[in-house]
Amino acid sequence: MVFEFQKISSILVCPRSKRELVLDGTFLVSTSPETRLRFPVVEDIPRLLVDEAEQLTPEVWGNIMQKAGRDPRTGLIAG
């Protein structure tokens, strides 16, 4: 089974902030600038466990948001 983020992106949220997630390689990243959590996708299964998440620096998080077409300060869709 292949993880197809686009098919389920509308129902996946960060378990801590309840904000949307963006796909960054083999990770899902919360769009919340307060938490900046990154969750691994292991063997095509998202591991949305806060205890196993990594908190990104504001700079790294902002770069990921920008690559995803989001505002690098707020995580909201740019535009």
User: Is the sign of the CA dihedral 45, 48, 49, 51 positive or negative?
Assistant: positive
Confidence at 21, pLDDT banded by 50, 70, 90: very high
User: What is the pTM (predicted TM-score) of this model?
Assistant: 0.92
Q: Report pLDDT for 1.
A: 62
Q: For 21-37, what is the mean pLDDT?
A: 97
C-beta atoms surrounding 10 within 10 Å: 8
Assigned domain for 57 exists = yes
Assigned domain for 23 exists = yes
Q: For 63-76, what is the mean pLDDT?
A: 97
Q: Report pLDDT for 78.
A: 79
Assigned domain for 37 exists = yes
Total domain count for the chain? Answer: 1
Q: Which two tokens stand for residue 50?
A: 């806060």
Kind and range of the H or E element at 28? strand 27-30
Assigned domain for 77 exists = no
Assigned domain for 76 exists = no
Q: CATH number, domain at 29? A: 2.20.25.10
C-beta atoms surrounding 62 within 10 Å: 19
Percent of the chain with pLDDT over 70: 99
> For residue 30, what are the domain limits?
5-67
Assigned domain for 72 exists = no
Kind and range of the H or E element at 38? strand 37-42
